[in-house]
Chain A
C-alpha cells in the first residue's frame, strides 16, 4: 500500500506540479492567469498518442512534435486570449477569454479525437522494473523542467530578461527590453511545459479529452498552495497534493478522496490565502 501511495502519488504529483509551473510561467510573463494550462496537458496526451500510436512515428519524434505543438498553442493563447485583454487587466477578463479558448480547444478535440479515452503508447520498450516507466517518466520530466527553468532564469540573459518583465514590465520596456516578444516566448515555453506534463503522464492518464478539466483544477491547487509565480512552491505543493490524494484514495476511497482534497485545499487557503511559500504583498493605498 505504501509503495503504491508513493509511486502513484509522486508521479501524479509531478504532473500536477508541471501544470502548476505552466500556470506560473504564463502568469509571471503577463500578470494574467491563463486557464489554458490543463488544455495544454490534455493536448500533450492526445497529440502524443496521435503521433506515436496512430501515425507510427518514433517516440522521440513524437515528443519533439508535441513540444512544438505546445509552443504554438502557447503563442496562439497569448495572441488570441491574453493580449487583447491585458490593457484592462484589473477587470480580470482574461479568466473568461482563456477559459473560453481552452473550452473551444477541448470541444474541438472531443469532435476530432473522440470522447472515449484512447491508449497512450509505451514510450520506452522495456519491461516493468521495480518502478514502472509510467511512474518515473513524469518524475523525470518534472525534475528536468524545474532544473531547466532554474538554469534558464539564473544563468542566461534571456532568462534574466524574463525575470525583469515579471518584476516590472513598464521599467523593463523603458530599458529597451522587447516586452511583447519576451511575453510570446514565455507563453511558448509554458506551452511546451504543459504539453510535456500531459505527454509524460500519458501512460497513466491516457489520451482523453476529459483530462483537461482535472488537470486545470488539480494543477491550480499547487499554484494556490505554493504561491502564485513561485515554481519551487508549485513543485513541493504538487508532489504533496499527489501523495495526499493517493493516500486519501486508500484511506477513504471512492468519491470521498476528491472531497478530502477539496476540504484540505479550502482550509489551507482560509489559513494562508497567499499560499505556503507566497509572500503577502503590500497593497498600495
Chain B
C-alpha cells in the first residue's frame, strides 16, 4: 500500500477530530467540579453608585444563599465583581477581562445605561450571554444582541405606565409635560409626548427649561392657563423637581404630579419648602415591591425583606426594589445553569423560553423575539411621600 500525501492529511484530520471529541466529552466531568463563574459589573463608586451599591447587596445575598444550599448541581458560584466606577471605559475593560481571561458563563450588568450601551456589543462579540437592568430602549435588539436580556422595564414602559396612570386612573385628559435641558430630559419629553397623544391625551404644555432657573412660576402659570389636569415632569434633577412642587404649592394649585422616580427621592424631599408640598405626587415604581392598599408588601417581597433583615443588610439608605433586582439576577442565572448547562447557547435557549419566572422585583418572561422581561402591568406609580423601610405605597387607583 502506497502512502500518499492525501491519506496522511486525511488520517491526521481524523485523529485530530477524535482527540477533540474526546476532550469535548471529558470537559463536563472537569467543569462539574469547577465553580460557576458569573461576571458582575456594578458601579460601586462614582455618580451612579447609589443603585450599584444597593444591587450589589442583593446580588451577594443571593450568591451566599445559593452556595449555602449546595451551589448549582454541586458547583459553587464564584461571583467576579469589577467596580466600573460609573465609567463606561472601565466597564468595557472589565467586560474584555471577564469574557476572555476569566471565562465567565454569564455577565450580570453593567447597572446603568451609559455603561451598558458600551458593554453590550462587546459581550455580543465575545458570545457570552448577559442580563442587565438598564432602561434605554435600544439596549435590547434580538437581532444584533441575541444573548442580551433585560430584567427591568424599558424607558417606553416607564412612560406608558405614567401615561396610563394619568389618563386611565386619574382621568386627566389635558396634560403638561416638562423637562429640564439635560440630555435625558429632552429625549424623554420628546419620546413620551407622542405616546400621550396616541393615547388620546391633549398636551397643553410641552417644554424644556434650564434646570438652574430659580423661578418656574411662569411655566406653571402657562400650564394652569392651558387647563392642565396633571403635570408630568421628566428630570433626574432634584432641584428642578422640588421647584415645580414648591411653585405648585405657592400657587395654591393641587394638580397631581406624575413622573420620574427622583420625585420620590430624599434629595427632592430635602428641597421642599413644606412637607405638604409632596402630596399628590406619584413616581415610577414596581408593583411587586410596593405596599398594597392594605399596607402590606406582596408575599414574595415581604419574605425577602425578612431575609434582608436577618442577613443584617442595611436598608436605611436605599430602596427595596434595587436590592430585589440585584438579588433576582444570580438566582435566575443559577436556575438556568442548573436546568440547561453553562454553555452560552444553552443559557440563551433556556432564557428564550422563560415564562413568568417569579422574581422578587419582577415576573420575567422572555421569548426569542422579546428580551425585555418585565410585564407592563408590574410597572406602576407609587405615592412619592410614602417611603417606609425602602418601599412606597402604591398610588391610589390600582386596587388592592
Contacts and interface: CB of A to CB of B under 8 A. Distances in A.
Contacts of A255: 181, 207-210
Interface string B362-384: 00000000000000000000000
Nearest to A208: B239
B271 A254 contact: no
A116 B20 CA distance: 58
Interface stretch (A72-80, A93-101, A164-172, A245-253): A245-253
Nearest to A213: B212
CB-based closest 5 A-B pairs:
A117-B239, A254-B207, A249-B218, A250-B218, A204-B214
A1 B267 CA distance: 30
A210 B270 CA distance: 18
Nearest to A11: B214
A56 B132 CA distance: 43
B219 A4 contact: no
Interface of A: 1, 4, 8, 12, 115-119, 204-206, 208, 210-211, 214, 246, 249-250, 253-255, 257-258
A68 to B, nearest CB: 26
Most B CB atoms within 10 A — which of A211, A254, A257? A254
Given A254-B209, A255-B207, A116 B218 contact: no
Given A116-B239, A117-B237, A8 B215 contact: yes
B210 A258 contact: yes
Contact of A208 (B181, B212, B215, B222): B212
Given A116-B238, A116-B239, A253-B219, A206 B271 contact: yes
Contact of A117 (B181, B218, B238): B238
Contacts, number: 63
B65 to A, nearest CB: 34
A253 B216 CA distance: 9
Nearest to A120: B271
Contacts of B238: 116-117
B270 A119 contact: yes
B221 interface: yes
B222 A246 contact: no
Nearest to B269: A119
A253 B219 CA distance: 7
Most A CB atoms within 10 A — which of B181, B218, B221? B218
Contacts of A246: 215, 218
29 contacts: A4-B218, A8-B214, A8-B215, A8-B217, A115-B47, A116-B237, A116-B238, A117-B237, A117-B238, A117-B239, A117-B267, A117-B271, A118-B270, A119-B270, A119-B271, A204-B215, A205-B212, A206-B214, A206-B239, A208-B212, A208-B239, A210-B212, A246-B215, A253-B209, A254-B219, A255-B181, A255-B208, A257-B213, A258-B210
A25 to B, nearest CB: 25
Contacts of B242: 117
Contacts of B221: 1, 250
B122 interface: no
B222 A253 contact: yes
A251 B270 CA distance: 31
A210 B210 CA distance: 11
Contacts of B79: none
B243 to A, nearest CB: 9
B267 A116 contact: yes
A234 B272 CA distance: 33
Given A115-B47, A117-B238, A249 B213 contact: yes
B302 interface: no
B156 to A, nearest CB: 25
A115 B86 CA distance: 14
Contacts of B237: 116-117
B233 to A, nearest CB: 13
Most A CB atoms within 10 A — which of B47, B207, B215? B215
A205 B270 contact: no
Given A206-B271, A246-B218, 18 more contacts: A1-B221, A8-B215, A8-B217, A12-B215, A115-B47, A116-B238, A117-B267, A118-B267, A204-B215, A205-B212, A208-B239, A211-B212, A249-B219, A250-B218, A253-B222, A254-B208, A255-B208, A257-B210
Contacts of A4: 215, 217-218
A205 B219 contact: no
Interface in B138-185: 181
A148 B268 CA distance: 38
Contacts of B213: 249, 257
B211 interface: yes
Most B CB atoms within 10 A — which of A1, A116, A119, A211? A116
A115 B214 CA distance: 17
A55 B215 CA distance: 28
Nearest to A203: B214
Most A CB atoms within 10 A — which of B212, B242, B270? B212
A116 B270 CA distance: 11
Interface string B193-212: 00000000000000111111
A127 to B, nearest CB: 12
B238 to A, nearest CB: 5
B239 A249 contact: no
A158 B330 CA distance: 71
A252 to B, nearest CB: 9
B267 A253 contact: no
A210 B240 CA distance: 12
Nearest to A15: B214
B207 A253 contact: yes
